[in-house]
Amino acid sequence: MVKLLKYVLTILILCLILTGCTPAKPETAPLKLVSSVEVDFRHGQENLHRIYTQSDKVDVILHYLHKLTPRGTPNSDPEQLLEEQCKITVRLTGGESRIYRLQGKQYLSVDLKPWKTISRERCSVLYHLVSHLPGDVTPKATAPTGKEL
């Protein structure tokens, strides 16, 4: 019985010590919600510009965008590729935004940081999604001079 009491007391002391050693939880920043996603997509002669504001469409785009996990740096300059290009601007409440640039189905740059290599298959799925998912807001047409029509 004394042996069991010593064992339980030792466990309790270890628990108290370890509880005191756990790092404090960091303060979390206020949650920032996505107000819209704007997509500019170029493939050959095809140029698409779409704006998404409906939460179901925004959520599916963000889901596939976050699956593009960067793996490393490219061996060549992605800017020189003449393949598909896609710029996805995620606008947050409060006026902030994040810009994701995709080049040639295999490179990603976030907020103008250096290019990273990504999965070609995952990028193809995202390209297919944004090229077929209709936008929610029709952008204003502009004349070549930049004035609204």
Over 70: is that where the pLDDT of 34 sits? yes
> How do residues 85-138 score in pLDDT, each as one tens digit?
889 999 998 889 999 998 888 888 899 888 998 888 988 898 888 888 999 876
Contact 63, 57 (CB under 8 A): no
User: What is the average per-residue pLDDT within 46-51?
Assistant: 88
Task: Check residue 25 and give its pLDDT.
Answer: 46
Share of residues in the chain with pLDDT > 90 (%): 22
Residue 24, pLDDT > 60, answer no
Query: What is residue 142's predicted lDDT score, i.e. its pLDDT?
Result: 45
pLDDT value for 75: 75
- Helix (H) / strand (E) element for 46: namely strand 46-52
141-147 mean pLDDT: 45
Q: Which of 36, 34, 66 is nearest to 51 (CA)?
A: 36
Q: Is 129 left (phi over 0), alpha (psi -120 to 50) or beta?
A: alpha
